[in-house]
């Protein structure tokens, strides 16, 4: 029996930790491979705390999803602020017409959906509103 995903991925989700290549500075999140995809250096990673803010690099609006999801649902690829990292995620508290490339967002740890009576949690993004 494996550990629950929330526990298994605590460092990824709650601590927002990524891996940074010591050779070129490339930041990998949520997973990384032994070989840096940018420079090819082997196994030279350090753990870094990622920023909780970033900008939408690109996005789509999902209109047709399983019943567990509320639609329309914006999904985006977000470039996190330094030290960096590129993350794919759902947006919350966001109207489709608000979405644009460059939209400033912040990480929000939320429930994604229910699976067999368990809430599945992960990071989402929401616009930074001032
Ligand atoms: Zn590298």
Q: State yes or no: pLDDT of 101 exceeds 80.
A: yes
89 Cα–ligand 1 center, Å: 24
Which sequence spans correspond to the domains of the chain? 5-127
Question: What is the reported pLDDT for 11?
Answer: 54
40 Cα–ligand 1 center, Å: 6
Per-residue model confidence as pLDDT tens digits over 57-91 = 999 999 999 887 889 999 999 999 999 999 999 99
Per-residue model confidence as pLDDT tens digits over 13-57 = 567 899 999 999 999 988 888 999 999 999 999 999 999 999 999
pLDDT confidence bin for 109, thresholds 50/70/90: confident
Question: What is the reported pLDDT for 57?
Answer: 98
> Could you please report the per-residue DSSP string of the chain?
-PPPHHHHTHHHHTS-EEEEETTT--EE-S---SB-TTT--BS-EEEEEPPSEEEEEEEEEE----TTS-SSEEEEEEEESTT--EEEEEBSS--GGG--TT-EEEEEEEEEEEETTEEEEEEEEEE---
72 Cα–ligand 1 center, Å: 37
């Amino acid at each position: 029996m494996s550990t629950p995903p929330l526990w298994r991925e605590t460092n990824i989700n709650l601590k927002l930790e990524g891996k940074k290549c010591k050779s070129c500075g490339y930041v990998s999140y949520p997973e990384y491979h032994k070989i840096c995809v940018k420079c090819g250096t082997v196994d030279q990673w350090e753990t870094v705390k990622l920023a909780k803010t970033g900008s939408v690099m690109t996005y789509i609006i999902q209109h047709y999803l399983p019943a567990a999801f509320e639609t329309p649902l914006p999904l985006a690829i977000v470039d996190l602020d330094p030290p960096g990292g590129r993350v794919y995620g759902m947006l919350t508290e966001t109207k489709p017409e608000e979405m644009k490339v460059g939209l400033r967002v912040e990480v929000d740890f939320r429930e994604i959906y229910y699976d067999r009576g368990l809430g599945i949690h992960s990071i989402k993004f929401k616009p930074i509103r001032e």
